Structure 1
Amino acid sequence: MQTSSLACCFLLVSLCFDFSQNETSAPLRKQRRRMRYRGLRSSSAGHRSPREPRMKLPDPVVPSIPLVNFDDSVMGVFDSLIGLGGHESSYSVLPGKKGHCIANGMIMYDKAVWSPKPCITCLCSKGKVICDTTMCHPLKCPQTVIPEGECCPVCSDTASSLDSSIISLDDISELSGDSPEPNDLDNANVLSPAPTQTKKDEQLGTEVVEFKEKESHKKDKKRKRKSKKNRQKSKAHHREKKPITRKDPAEEEIQDESDEDDGTFKMPSHFPIPVPPIEAPPLPSGCSTSDTTVSCINAKLTQIPPISDPDLTSLDLTGNSITTISDEAFNGIPNLEWIDLSKNNITSPGIGPQAFKSLKKLKRLYLDGNMLVHIPTALPSTLEEIKINDNHLHAIDEDGLQDLKNLVTLELEGNKLSEANVSPLAFYPLKSLSYLRLGRNKFRIIPQGLPATLEELYLENNQIEEVSEICFNHTRNINVIVLKHNKLEEHRIAPLAWINQENLESIDLSYNKLYHVPSYLPKSLLHLILIGNQIERIPGYVFGHMKPGLEYLYLSFNKLTDDGIDPVSFFGAYHSLRELFLDHNELKSVPFGIDEMRKLRFLRLNNNKIRTVPPERICKAHITDDDHENSEEEENEESLLEHVHLENNYIKTRQLSPHAFPCIRSYCSFVLKPQKSK
C-alpha cells in the first residue's frame, strides 16, 4: 500500500513538472539562444589573428535543415553551412593599400584571419577577402543535435537527454528564423565575396537526403497534415517575399507538441531562399560597357571609377574632370591594354609613382589635353603607344623614358620642349621607336640622339632654323621627315644632311623661308612638298640624281615665274612624276618639260597668269612618218593624264587650238572655267 502511494505521488509530481516546463518553454529557449550566441562569440574570438583589430560580430546564422514533403517521402536540404542565409555581401573586394582588405568598413591587414560568422573563417590575401566554411556530412538518424562549440550536428538516441550545453534542431530552426535580441547581439552585415557565395548556392541543391517512412499509420496522417500546412506557409512566404519574423510563444508550443507526437524532424515554415550573386558596384551615370570595354566619355567624373573586372581590356575616360590617379586606381582591372584619359585635368603630382606599374598588359596610353609637366614614371615596359599631346611638358631627362623598349609610337606635340630641356640620351632606351611626333614645341634644331629605328619624324610648327650634317647620321631607316611651319632657308640645310639616306622617301618643307628648291635632296626621294614658301626658281637638274625618280612635287603658293623654270628643271622626273602642282604662282605660260612626263596624271596650273596653251606644251606632238621607226615604243605608250586645272588664268578659251589637248583621256576632268579678265 505504501509502495502504491509513493508511485501515485511520483506521477503527480512529474505531471506538474511537465506542465510547468511547457509554460516556461519560450523563456528557456530565449535563454538557450543567448547562451549559444555567447558560446559561439567566445569560440570565434579564438580564430582572430593577433594582428587583427577587434570588430563587431554579425547576426548569427546557424544551420537549419528545411524539409519538403513530396507524396509520402521526406527530402532534407542542408542549408546554412553552405549558403549562410539570404543576405547580400557587404565586403569590399577592391584591394586596398599594401594588400589591405576593407571588411564592413574596417581595414584588415594582409594575412589577417577573422571569423565574421560562426563556423566561418576569413583571410585577407593581397587585398581580397577569402572565406571558408565548415562542411558537414548529412546524417541519417531520426534525432540530431549540435554540441556546444561545434559546427556540425551529431546523432542523438533520445531527445530527452539534451541539456543546456547542447542545442537541438528545433532551437536551430528558431535561431535561423528569429531576429536576435537587440541587447544581446551587435548588428553587422558581413558576407563572403561573390565567387565563394555563388559556389555555396550551387551546393544547396545538390546535398539532398532521403528519409524513409517508419512511423505508424496514425503518425503518418499527422505528418501529412503538418506538411500541407507548412507548404501553404511556404507559398505565402514566396508571394510576399518578406523577411521571416519570430514566432509567438503559443505557436512555438504547438510546434513543439507536434514534434513530440511525431518523433520526426521539425518542419520549418519556409523554403531556403537562394542567395543572389553579388554584383560589382554599378558604373556611374554616363558610362556604358560592352564585353571588354568601359566607356565614360564626358560623364562628369572627378576620379577614376572603382571597377573590378579582370576581363576588362579597354577603358575610355575622355572629357571628364579627373585630377589624380592613385596607386590603386587600376588594381581591380589588371589586364587593361588601352587607357584613354584625354581631356581631363590630371597633373603630374596627382599621378601616383606606381599608378601604371601593375598593368602588365598595357599597350596604349593616351593622356592628351591634361596638365602634365613631365612624363609619368614607372610606366609598364609593354607599352607600344604613348600620347601626351597638348600638355605642359617642359623637360625629358635621360631617365624619363626608361624601360620602354617596346614603344613604337611616341607623341609629345603641343608642349614646351626644346633642345635645351630634352636630354640627348632621352630617346636612347627606345629600341623599337619608329614614329615620333614633336610638333608645336620650341625646337630650333633637330633633336639629338634620335633612335636608329626611327622611320617617321614630325617636327612641324617649331622654330627650326638649321638642318646640320650629323642630325640624321644614325637614323638609316628614316622614311618621312615633316618640317613644315619652321624658319628654314635653303642655305641652312647642309649638303650632306640627308643626301645619303637610302630610305628617305618623303620630305615636307612647306611654309618655311625657301627661295628656291633645295639641292642635295635624297636619292630615294619620291614625295617633295614645298607649298607656301617664297620659291622663285627650280634649278636645272635638281632632280636628276634621283632613282627611281620623284613622283609627287607640290609647289603651290610660291612665286615661280617663267624665268625661274629652266627647260631642264624637271630633268630626272620625266619618267616618274605622277602629280605636279604649280598653282597659285606667277607663271605666264605653261612650263617646258610637261609634255615629256609620260606618267603624269594630275596637273594643276590654276590661279596663275597664263594666257595661252601651245599645242605641244602639255601633250606631246604627234609622231611623223620620218620618226616612226625610232619612236615605235613611245607611240604605243598612251598618256595617263586625267586631271588638268587651268581655271582662274587669262586664257581665251575660244582661241585655244583643237590640238592643244589630244592626250586628255576625258574632257570632264579638264577644267578651263572660270577665267580672269583684265
Structure 2
Amino acid sequence: MKHAVLFCLILLIIFQTDCERSEHGTGKQRRRIHQRRLRKSSSLHHRANKQLGNQQTAAAAEATLPITNSDYSVEENLESLLSPLGVESSYNVLPGKKGHCFVKGMIMYNNAVWSPEPCITCLCSNGRVLCDETVCHPKTCPYTIKPEGECCPICSDAVSYSLLSGRTLNDKTEFSGDSSEQREFTNMLHKQVKPPQMEMDQVVIKEALQSKEEEEDIKEHMEHKKETSVPTTLHSDEERVEGKLRPEEERRSARQPLYHGRGEEEDDDEESEGEREKEEEDAIRGDVFRMSPRLMPGTPRGRPRLPGSCALSYKTISCIHAAFTQIPPITAPEVTSLELAGNSIISIPDEAFNGLPNLERLDLSRNNITSSGIGPKAFKVLKKLMRLNMDGNNLVHIPSELPSTLEELKINDNNLQAIDEESLSDLNQLVTLELEGNNLSEINVNPLAFKSLKSLSYLRLGKNKFRIIPQGLPASIEELYLENNQIEEITEICFNHTRKINMIVLRYNKIEENRIAPLAWINQENLESIDLSYNKLYHVPSYLPKSLLHLVLIGNQIERIPGYVFGHMEPGLEYLYLSFNRLSDDGVNLVSFYGAYHSLRELFLDHNDLKSIPPGIQEMKALHFLRLNNNKIRNILPEQICNVEEDEDSALEHLHLENNYIKTREISSYAFSCIRLYSSIVLKPQKIK
C-alpha cells in the first residue's frame, strides 16, 4: 500500500511539472501572436486613417511635431465628415500636455510609472502609455501557492500551504484570496493522501521543505505555538464528518480570523462572543467611526475588512456609488488609493482617514460634501497624499490644512466663492490645480493666492466669472485654461512673470482684437499655442507671440487676414484654424500668409464665404492638411493648388473641397497633378445652385 501511494505521488509531481511547462510555453506563444496582431492592426489602422483624411496622420509623421487633439481625429473623423451641414464642430485642436498621458481622468507625467492592476506595470513615455505584464518563471516543485499581493506563485508543500492560508487542509471553507484551481488541487490532494493524525509540530519536522523562506516561516510558527501553548492538530475528512473533533477545538476553529498576519496573538479567549460580534458589525457600518481593535493601526498586516459594497484591487479600495452618507471606517495601512466617488457623503470628520495613513490618491468626487462638514484636521493624517479629487461637491472655500505633499488638486464644479492668500499657502509641490465651474473672479481671488505655488504648471480656471486674466500667476505656469469666462481684454502686464507659459486657452470669452495690448505676449519665448475661438474677433489679431505654432480662431466673425501678420514669427506658424468665420476673397491676399509659407502644416478655412482658392496655397511647401469645404468655391484653376512649372510632388495628404459649387467634370486634369494620392482629395458632395 505504501508503495502504491508513493507511486501516485511521483506521477502527480511529473504531471504538475509538465503542465506548468506547457502553460509557460503556450503563454509565450500567445503573447507573440498577440503582439503580431497588434502590429498588424496598427498598420491597417494607419492606412485607414490616411484614406479618411485625418489631420493627425500628417502631424504624427514626425516625432518632433506636437500632436493635435482635433475633433477631426482618428476616432471621430467619419462622424465629423458626415455631420449635418452648417453644424459647428467643437474643433478642440490644441495639443495636450507635452509628453504627458491622460489615463482614466488622471494626468500621468512623462516617465511616470504606475500599476493599474496587480502584476501590470505601465509607463508614460512621451505621451504614450506602455504597459507590461509580469512574466513568472515556471516552478518545478509539486505544489505552488500565490501569496496575497504577489504576482508569481512560490513553491510550497501541503503543510506550509495550510500554514500560509491560515486553515487546515481538510477545511472545506473557501480559502481567502485563493483561486478555484487551487481549491480543486487541494481537494484532489485530500482524496489521494490522507494526512496522519498527529501534532503539527511533528509533521513540520518530518516534512522536507522546498525553500529557506518556508523553513523560516515554519520556525516562526513553531516558536509562536510554544509561546501560546495552543496545539494545532490536523484532522482527516472522516473525523470532521463523524464529529470526532473535541468541542473546544471546534470553537477555536470557528473563532479563527478569516485573515492572519504573521505573529498574530490569540486574544479571542479574552473576549466574549457578543463583544466580538458587535465589533465586527461596527467595522462594516457606514455611519459609525468606532473601529474594532483588530482594525486599529498597529495590528498585523492582512487583508482589510471592507463594507460589502467596496472592492479591493491590489492597493486600491473602490467604493464607487455605494450609497454611503459617511466615510466608511477602514484600516488598511498598505492601501495607497481610495475611491469614494458618486456617494452621498456630506462630511469628513477629523478621524475619517486614521486607518489609511499611506494614501497617495483620494477620490471624493460627486458627493455632497460641504465646507462646514470638513473637520479642521481631516486631511492632516495623510502625510503621503499626492492627488485629491473633490469635483462635484458643495464646497464654498478650499479645505484648510491640506497635505503639503499634494501634487494634484481638483475642485471643479463646486461653489467656491473666494481664494484668499492662505488658501493654497502650504502647497509648494502642487503641479496641477483645477478650479473650473465655480464662482471665482478677479474680485474674490487674491492676487497673492498663487504666490506659494512654486511648482504649479497646469491651471484650469474655466467656467468662472473672470473679466480679466487673473493676476499673480506663478512663474512656473505652463498651461492656462480660462475658457467660458467673461474676459474682455488682455493687458500688457498679464503675462509679465510667466516666462515658461506654453499654452493659453481663452475659448468662449468676449475678446476683441483691439482689446489685446501690443505687448501682452509678443515677447513670450515659449508660448506655442493660443486658442481664441468663439470670441468677438473681426480680424486675425496682430502682435501675436514670436514663438507661436498653433493658432485657433474658430467661430469668430473674422473677415480679413491682415498682411504680414505672421511675418515676425520664428520658427513659423504651423497650425492655423479659421473655420466658421466670415472670410471672403477680399479678405485674403498673397501677403496674408507671409512668414508662414515655409512652415504651415495645417490650414482650416472651411465654413467661410470664399468663392475661389485663396492665393499662395501652391507656395506652402510644408502643407499636409487643407480644408476648404463648405465655402462658395465654383472652380479650381490648375495653378491654384499645384505649381504647373514645378515637377515636385506636393506635401498635401488631405484636401477637402466638398460642399461647394464645384462642377467636378470641369476640373482641369492638371489641377491636382502634384498630389501623390488622389484618394486624399474629397470632392463630393457638392451643392446645387
Q: TM-score, normalised by structure 2?
A: 0.59
Q: Distance in 1 between matches of 2:307 and 2:612?
A: 67
Q: What's the CA shift for 1:290? A: 1.4
Of 487, 490, 513, which aligns to 1:464? 487
The SS at the match of 1:658 is coil
For the pair 1:597 / 2:620, whether they are aligned, the reply is yes
For the pair 1:335 / 2:355, whether they are aligned, the reply is no
RMSD: 2.5
Contact 2:410 2:434 in 1 (8 A): yes
For the pair 1:514 / 2:537, whether they are aligned, the reply is yes
Contact 1:453 1:475 in 2 (8 A): yes
Deviation string, structure 1 residues 175-227 (Cα, Å, up to 9, x no partner): xxxxxxxxxxxxxxxxxxxxxxx999764534699xxxxxxxxxxxxxxxxxx
The equivalent of 1:673 in structure 2 is 684
The equivalent of 1:658 in structure 2 is 669
* Aligned 1:33-432 pairs, distance under 5 A: 203=223, 205-206=225-226, 239=243, 243-244=247-248, 276-277=256-257, 279=259, 282-432=305-455
Deviation string, structure 1 residues 275-315 (Cα, Å, up to 9, x no partner): 62465573223211112000111111111111111100000
Q: Distance in 2 between matches of 1:500 and 1:235?
A: 88
Task: Report sequence identity in percent.
Answer: 70
Check 1:676–1:325 CA distance in 2 against 1; reply closer, same or farther (3 A cut). Answer: same
Q: What's the CA shift for 1:638? A: 3.7
Check 1:243–1:488 CA distance in 2 against 1; reply closer, same or farther (3 A cut). Answer: same
Deviation string, structure 1 residues 75-133 (Cα, Å, up to 9, x no partner): xxxxxxxxxxxxxxxxxxxxxxxxxxxxxxxxxxxxxxxxxxxxxxxxxxxxxxxxxxx
Contact 1:339 1:364 in 2 (8 A): yes
Q: Distance in 1 between matches of 2:306 and 2:344?
A: 16
Q: Distance in 2 between matches of 1:352 and 1:481?
A: 36
Q: Distance in 1 between matches of 2:507 and 2:474?
A: 21
Q: What's the CA shift for 1:530? A: 0.1
Q: Distance in 2 between matches of 1:270 and 1:671?
A: 80
Q: Distance in 2 between matches of 1:640 and 1:295?
A: 50
Q: What's the CA shift for 1:270? A: 9.5
The equivalent of 1:490 in structure 2 is 513
Amino acid in structure 1 at the alignment position of 2:225 = G
Contact 1:201 1:275 in 2 (8 A): no
Q: Distance in 2 between matches of 1:570 and 1:270?
A: 88
Q: What's the CA shift for 1:243? A: 4.5
Deviation string, structure 1 residues 353-391 (Cα, Å, up to 9, x no partner): 111111111000000000000000000000000000000
Amino acid in structure 1 at the alignment position of 2:672 = F
Check 1:199–1:283 CA distance in 2 against 1; reply closer, same or farther (3 A cut). Answer: farther
* Aligned 1:599-638 pairs, distance under 5 A: 599-623=622-646, 638=649
Q: Give the aligned length.
A: 423
The equivalent of 1:6 in structure 2 is none
For the pair 1:579 / 2:599, whether they are aligned, the reply is no
Q: Distance in 2 between matches of 1:463 and 1:272?
A: 71
Amino acid in structure 1 at the alignment position of 2:671 = A
Q: What's the CA shift for 1:640? A: 1.3
Check 1:235–1:491 CA distance in 2 against 1; reply closer, same or farther (3 A cut). Answer: same
Check 1:240–1:307 CA distance in 2 against 1; reply closer, same or farther (3 A cut). Answer: farther
Contact 1:324 1:347 in 2 (8 A): yes
For the pair 1:531 / 2:511, whether they are aligned, the reply is no
Check 1:661–1:235 CA distance in 2 against 1; reply closer, same or farther (3 A cut). Answer: closer
Amino acid in structure 2 at the alignment position of 1:396 = I
The equivalent of 1:182 in structure 2 is none
Check 1:271–1:333 CA distance in 2 against 1; reply closer, same or farther (3 A cut). Answer: closer
Q: Distance in 2 between matches of 1:236 and 1:592?
A: 93
Q: Distance in 2 between matches of 1:498 and 1:486?
A: 18
Q: What's the CA shift for 1:620? A: 1.8
The equivalent of 1:479 in structure 2 is 502
The equivalent of 2:659 in structure 1 is 648
Amino acid in structure 2 at the alignment position of 1:276 = Q
The SS at the match of 1:303 is coil
The SS at the match of 1:205 is helix
Contact 2:408 2:430 in 1 (8 A): yes
Q: Distance in 2 between matches of 1:346 and 1:572?
A: 54
Check 1:302–1:270 CA distance in 2 against 1; reply closer, same or farther (3 A cut). Answer: closer
The SS at the match of 2:355 is coil
Contact 1:237 1:270 in 2 (8 A): no
Contact 2:649 2:675 in 1 (8 A): no
Q: Distance in 1 between matches of 2:240 and 2:588?
A: 99
Check 1:296–1:199 CA distance in 2 against 1; reply closer, same or farther (3 A cut). Answer: farther
Deviation string, structure 1 residues 31-57 (Cα, Å, up to 9, x no partner): xxxxxxxxxxxxxxxxxxxxxxxxxxx
Q: What's the CA shift for 1:668? A: 1.1
Q: What's the CA shift for 1:572? A: 0.5
Q: Distance in 2 between matches of 1:658 and 1:314?
A: 63
Gaps of 5+ in 2: 1-217, 230-234, 260-294, 296-303
Q: Distance in 1 between matches of 2:536 and 2:311?
A: 50
Check 1:433–1:207 CA distance in 2 against 1; reply closer, same or farther (3 A cut). Answer: closer
Check 1:543–1:241 CA distance in 2 against 1; reply closer, same or farther (3 A cut). Answer: farther
For the pair 1:433 / 2:462, whether they are aligned, the reply is no
Q: What's the CA shift for 1:619? A: 1.4
Amino acid in structure 2 at the alignment position of 1:674 = P
Check 1:237–1:557 CA distance in 2 against 1; reply closer, same or farther (3 A cut). Answer: closer
Q: Distance in 1 between matches of 2:536 and 2:610?
A: 20
Q: Distance in 1 between matches of 2:518 and 2:228?
A: 90
Check 1:200–1:676 CA distance in 2 against 1; reply closer, same or farther (3 A cut). Answer: same
The equivalent of 1:178 in structure 2 is none
Q: Distance in 2 between matches of 1:500 and 1:653?
A: 47
Check 1:242–1:387 CA distance in 2 against 1; reply closer, same or farther (3 A cut). Answer: farther
Q: What's the CA shift for 1:669? A: 1.5
Amino acid in structure 1 at the alignment position of 2:321 = N
Q: TM-score, normalised by structure 1?
A: 0.60
Contact 1:440 1:462 in 2 (8 A): yes
Check 1:496–1:317 CA distance in 2 against 1; reply closer, same or farther (3 A cut). Answer: same
**For the pair shown, which has the larger CA radius of gyration, 1 or 2?**
1
Contact 2:428 2:452 in 1 (8 A): yes
Q: Distance in 2 between matches of 1:438 and 1:208?
A: 62
Of 557, 562, 573, which aligns to 2:585? 562
Q: Distance in 2 between matches of 1:348 and 1:538?
A: 50
Deviation string, structure 1 residues 414-459 (Cα, Å, up to 9, x no partner): 0000000000000001010000000000000000000000000000
